[in-house]
Every structure is written in C-alpha cells, then in structure tokens.
Structure 1
Amino acid sequence: MTHTISSTNQSLQIKRKAVEVTKDRNGTDQILLQNPRGASARVSLHGGQVLSWRTDRGEELLFTSSKAILKPPYAVRGGIPICFPQFGQRGSLEQHGFARNRTWIIDENPPPLHPNDNNGKAFIDLLLKPLEDDLKIWPHSFEFRLRVYLTADGNLSLISRIRNINCKPFSFSIAYHTYFSISDISEVRVEGLETLDYLDNLCQRERFTEQGDALTFESEVDRVYLGSRDVIAIFDHERKRAFFIRKEGLPDVGVWNPWVKKSKAIVDFGDEEYKQMLCVNGAAVEKPITLKTGEEWTGRLELSVVPSS
C-alpha cells in the first residue's frame, strides 16, 4: 500500500503494510499502525506522540484526558509524550523539555531494521531537529530519530536514537511519559521497584528506599526510581490484566499519579480522572546522558499486555 504525505513542504512515499496517514481536526498528520490481528497504534507528528494503543479487540490501553488540549503547541494530556532534553522542571527550559511540543517529520533516511525487527511489524520513522528558537534556549544541534512499531503480537515499541551533531559535548535527560489506562488506581500495583532508591518530587527530590514488595496507591505519588530492573509490571486486579514495561538504555522509572488535590489544579485534566490513569515511565533522569560530537545514544521501550489473575 502506498501513501503520499505532504509534511513540512515535503512529499514522501511510504511503502509499508498497514500504515495509514490521516489528519486530525487541526490539520496535523497522524499515522495509524495496524497489525494483521487488528491491534493498532496512532502516532501524531505533533510531539512524535503516541496517542492510542489498542488491542485486537479494540480495547484502548492508553489514557487520554477528556479535557486534553488537542491543538498545538500544547502537548496532549495522555498517550506517550516524549520528554526531551529534560524531564521535570529545571533552568530556563520548559517543563519536560520541548520535544513534545514540536512538529516532527517523517524520516526519509531511517536506520535499517534489525532482522528481528522486520517480522510482521507495522512501523513509522520520525525525525526531530532543533528549530532556531530551540537553539536559543538549548544551544545544541542534534538529530532525534524515533521509530514506533507494532509487533505481530500487538506489543508497542519505541526506539529513540539521539545523535550529537554539535561541535561540543552536551547532556540530556529523557522519559517516555506513558499514561496507562487502568480500572481504578486503588486496584493496581506496580512490581519490580522493590528495594530501589527513589527521588521523591513531593519532598524536594529527597532520596528514599522503597520498602514494600509492590507499590500501591493511596495518595499522590511523584517519584523517580533509580537504577531499576529492565522489566517493570503493572497489575490491574479489576480488569485482570498486566502491563509489562521492558526497557534498554533507560535506567530509571518515573511513577506519577496526581490524586485528588493536584487533579483539580490541572487545567487539562478531569477532577476524578486520576482514578483511571497511572504514569509509569522508562527514563534516564538521575545521571544525564552525555554525548560527544558524533556520538549516538539509543533507548528502547517495549510495552505489552497479558491476562493476569
């Protein structure tokens, strides 16, 4: 199947199975990926953001707020915003960096697929380069290549490749700020974080050690767990399913739920929606990644969902 896209005054032929290009109501290009079994993912060129990930039964796995602002330059409250070149609020950069608020383009010269990545997958390659205004606030030239693909089993993968094309080294932090759709925040637990140290953003980033066998939720949580395992699991007891988060090159894990008071203060978030979402993020936060001239960093996130008791 061949699709012609006009994006940033460029026309590009995409010759890939199960890739459909449409526009949202604001005229922003979106790419719909579908596998042979009917699972799907929808990616917006605004922010390079995954907005939807559905099973072959049409069940939505990612949360999006009913009050989300869907018009650029705002990032959509939900899905998987990409936080780069920082996660959090530091210095003169906007919170979570600018990548999630910029228009990405289709990558015309993507790196080749690994043979293991070419079996029944629907995929799209995106590219972000800094704008002149970006260089004023973060004076580093880079190329950020993002591949989003959907496997034959319906798993969702994101591979980031960030290259320094600057004349001097630079450092960055990054997070895939994933909003998972859940039945009720009181009915879920997160496993794989036990015994880890974490930075608590509710306590001025003070460092603590996780004492529980699993993380459960009774109040606001805003933490970054450090040096985590490569696999984290979210168990949703009411829906009898589990999300598995597999990651490479992303040593940390952010966990966030705003709870009652914070939810009411967020403009693009419903007062009660904290009950139906949980953010668990593959990230590199504590120790920023430093790239010398010409060096490239690769990070990979794979999400899967399975039935659980």
Structure 2
Amino acid sequence: MVHRISTERVKDLNGIDQIVLRNSQGASAKVSLHGGQVVSWRNDRGEELLFASTKAKGKAPKVIRGGIPICFPQFDSCGSLEQHSFARNKIWTVDESPPSLPAKDSSGKSFVDLLLKSSEEDLKCWPHSFELRLRVCLGADGNLTLISRVRNINAKPFSFSFAYHSYLSVSDISEVRVEGLETMDYLDNLCQKEQFTEQGDALTFEAEIERVYISSPSCVAVLDHERKRTFVLRKEGLPDVVVWNPWEKKSKSKSMADLVNDEYRHMVCVDGAVIEKPVTLKPGEEWTGRLEIIVVPSSFSSEGLGF
C-alpha cells in the first residue's frame, strides 16, 4: 500500500513561517520556525492531540503556551538563562543539508528538518558555539516523532540539559493517570528538588505537580479515562521524565497570564528530558535525543507497551 505524504509552508497570524506535515490518512502536524515548536498535531479524525492555550498569541519573542516547546540549553532557570532557556524563543531555519538518519526516521514519513545555530546574542548569556538540529516526522500511522541532535562546534567542552516540553490534550486532569513511573525516584520541584520515590501503581492528579523522574523507563503511558485513549511516549537518549500540571492557584497567577479559566484541567505535560545529569560534549561530539508519541485506545494493555 502506497502512503502519500506531503509538506506545505504557510505563515501564522504574525507572519512567521510554519511547516505543515500531512499523511494520506488525514493526520497532520504543524511546526513553527519560531522555536522549532510543534504547535499542532491532529489525528485522522481532525482531533487536536496537543494542548494550546486559547490566549496564546505566539508573537516573537513570546513562546506559545502549548504544543511541544524545545527546552535547550537549560531546563530550569540558571545564571543568566531564563527558565526553559532560549532555543524556544529563536527563529529557526529549514535545514537544507541535514545529516543522514536511520530509515525508520524518514522512510514513509512526512518530515521537516530545522536548524538553530548559536548567535552573537546567545553567546553573551551562554558562551558556547553549537548546532541544534531537529527533525519532526509524521508517520503514515499518525505517530509523531522528534529527533534532536546537538553538536559542539566550540573549542572546549560544554554541558547542557534538554526537554521536549510536551503539552498533551486531555479531557480532564482528574481523569488522567500516568503509568510506567512506578517505584521511580523523582526530584520534587515543589519541595526544593528533594528526592522521593514514587509509591503508587500510577501517578494521578489532585493538586499541582512538578516532578523530574530520574533514570526512568524508555516507555511511559498517559491514560485519559474519559476519552478512552492513551498517549504512549517512547524515548531514546532522554533518561528523565518531567510531569507537570500547574493546578488552579498557579494557573491563575500573573506568571501564567496566558492560561485562562480552567484550562489547566485540559492539559498535562509529560516530557522526555535529560536534566538530572546534564550532557557534556567535547569539541566535535554530538548528542541525539529521540521522542516518539503514539496514541492507542485505552483498552490497550499496558503490559504490551514495553514497561
């Protein structure tokens, strides 16, 4: 069976280029050159799978609240770097000469390759020369895959952290459970990064959560009971998982003015990340981080997901 795939270049309301990926089944993904951010991912029925705030404008240099922002070279705020750092606020370019990738990351898929290089402005706050490449793929089956490559073109080693800050769209946060993190150690950002061990057989939500699960499994599932669907996240080169929901009080604070009403109830962030032990690259070395997100019916047994 031949699967027709396509890409299209469009502009958003602010005149910023976006790349639209489509497959023959009707699924689509939209990637903005502002931040290299996936801002939309729809299944073959046209249902949006990623959360985006209705108040998010996405006008540069302000990042859109939602989708999948790229957090590099820092996840937490550190020194002169703001929280989640600068890659998500930069205008990327389409990479016309990307490095070769395995066939599984291109064959039969609609994809785009983007590139971000360090600028003079970046070097003032983070004095390291780098190349960050991102391939976003939409499979014939509608799966979404992101592959990032960071290369050190500096004269000395540097270290960085990284995250795909994935805002997943859910029916209601109280109907959601995350599986695959049982017995894992985590750093609780609401308790000065104190370390705890997950005690439950699944993670559920009754209050604000901001945790970094360290050395986590390569596969994590996010079950949405009401919609009877499950997001399955498979990751490589990303040992940590961030789980975050701001809950009511924080979502109505001034720092989150781009969330309205009870929108926090319809989102959960589950990120493939490398945070606890940053990556260190010597001159000329390269790191690769890969995240694949698929959606399956919730009747799908978690035993079959590779936990």
Q: Normalising by structure 2, what TM-score?
A: 0.94
Query: Structure 2 stretches of 5 or more lacking a match?
Result: 300-307
CA positional deviation for 1:308: 1.4
Measured in 1, the distance between the counterparts of 2:267 and 2:106 equals: 32
The equivalent position to 2:269 in structure 1, one of 265, 279, 285, is 279
CA contact (8 A) 2:218 2:235 kept: yes
Percent identity among equivalent residues?
70
The answer on whether the counterparts of 2:106 and 2:137 sit within 8 Å (CA) in structure 1 is no
Ranges of 4+ aligned residues in structure 1 off by more than 3 Å: none
Q: Is the counterpart of residue 246 in structure 1 residue 231 in structure 2? A: no
- How far the C-alpha of 1:17 sits from its partner, in A, is 4.5
Map 1:111-126 onto structure 2 (within 5 A): 111-126=99-114
1:149 — aligned with what? 137
Q: Given that residues 73 and 101 in structure 1 are in contact (C-alpha distance below 8 angstroms), is that contact kept between their aligned partners in structure 2?
A: yes
Q: Structure 2: how far apart are the matches of 1:155 and 1:291? A: 30
Is it true that 1:140 corresponds to 2:128 in the alignment? Answer: yes
Are residues 1:306 and 2:287 paired? no
Instruction: Determine if contact 1:35/1:120 at 8 Å carries over to the other structure.
Output: no
Q: TM-score, normalised by structure 1?
A: 0.94
Partner of residue 11, structure 1? none
Is 1:163 aligned to 2:151, yes or no? yes
Deviations 1:175-214 (A, max 9, x none): 0000000000000100011101100010011111100000
Please say if residues 119 and 152 of structure 1, whose CA atoms lie closer than 8 Å, have aligned partners that are also in contact.
no
SS of the equivalent of 1:222 reads strand
- Given the alignment, which residue of 36, 43, 52 partners 1:55? 43
CA contact (8 A) 1:61 1:180 kept: yes
Aligned to 2:305: none
Q: Give distance in 2, aligned partners of 1:82 and 1:40.
A: 19
Report the Cα distance in structure 1 between the residues aligned to 2:52 and 2:225, rounded to whole angstroms: 21
Q: Secondary structure at the match of 2:204?
A: coil
**RMSD of Structure 2 on Structure 1 (CA):** 1.0
CA displacement at 1:36 relative to structure 2: 1.2
How far did residue 69 of structure 1 move? 2.8
Q: Take 2:270 and 2:54, find their aligned partners in 1: how far apart are those partners?
A: 20
For 1:262 and 1:155, how far apart are their aligned partners in 2?
Answer: 32
Q: What letter matches 2:84 in structure 1? A: H
Q: After superposition, where does 1:81-230 map in structure 2 within 5 Å? A: 81-230=69-218
1:242 alignment partner, SS class: strand
In the alignment, which residue of structure 2 is the partner of 1:22? 10
Equivalent in the alignment of 1:39: 27
Query: One-letter code of the match for 2:261?
Result: D
State the alpha-carbon separation in 2 of the partners of residues 284 and 235 from structure 1.
Answer: 23
Q: Is the 8 A contact 2:5 2:24 kept in 1?
A: no
